[in-house]
Structure 1
Amino acid sequence: MSESSAPLPPGWTRYEGPLLTIWRARFEGAYGEGTANGFNDGMFVRDQRRPIAQWVNFALRSAVLVAPETPGGWPVQRFAIYYAPPREGFCTIRTERHEWMPRGPRGSTTDADAFTAAVLAAEQFLQVEATFGALDTGSPRTP
């Protein structure tokens, strides 16, 4: 669980189930049919890479995802925050880099550290979106 002190905005809930189908649909809606198959080892097609964290607002048809951004063999691994704005669209939220080096020196950032930081950043993103009313209007904002 995250270290967040603020509750999630109204209508949003943390979703602990399998990868939501909205991710493939939204990615392909933005980049073309079949493009999700090749994006990041097919992460929007197959739910094979963990950990992931998801939040969903069913009333707005919107979601947020924290998932690995880089292919598994890369020397630097990174978590990204993906956003499916209300009703349609897909974007990657740019925050600080939540990364680690699997073969990094002892005491360096780990995958668990990077994941925890990315989850906290995703929850902060939801708070900012709710504060500025973008979630109610369907206008995505990226910090």
Structure 2
Amino acid sequence: MDAKIKAVGKLTQVAEKRRDQVGQQLESMRQQSQHLELQLSQLSQLRTHQSGELQQNTTMTSANLMNLNMVDQMLHKMLVHHRHEHAVMEAQCSSVQKELEHKHARVKGLEQVMERWQAKQNYEKARKEQKMIEDIINSRIRKRVL
């Protein structure tokens, strides 16, 4: 039984280590997602500011209009790209979150198995000690009777 408990203890340690690694990976991905979200909001603000400048400036040359139009198109492409990248990052975070929950459940299960086996081992040990005490008492009573 000791070997089983030691094996489950080691499995628990390995599972905890893997769970912690997945947790760190998830935290890193969340930080990346927040960074992308910040960039996305900054790009949106930049695009809004740029289009506001276009409306304020009434005397534009055709070159300025073309440049502003190209800037608007590039900003739009960047916004679309960042939105897609953010959506992918969110999906990956969700996947890693589910994996983390699965790893946590595995660790909990291993801990419960180890606790059950330790309780069983303690019960059997106590039962053996009680049996030994009863045998000692019985042998002393037999000696007195004889």
TM-score for both structures, normalised by structure 1: 0.22
Q: Which structure exhibits the higher relative contact order, with contacts defined as CA atoms closer than 8 Å and separated by 6 or more residues? A: 2
In proportion to residue count, which structure has more strand? 1
In proportion to residue count, which structure has more helix? 2
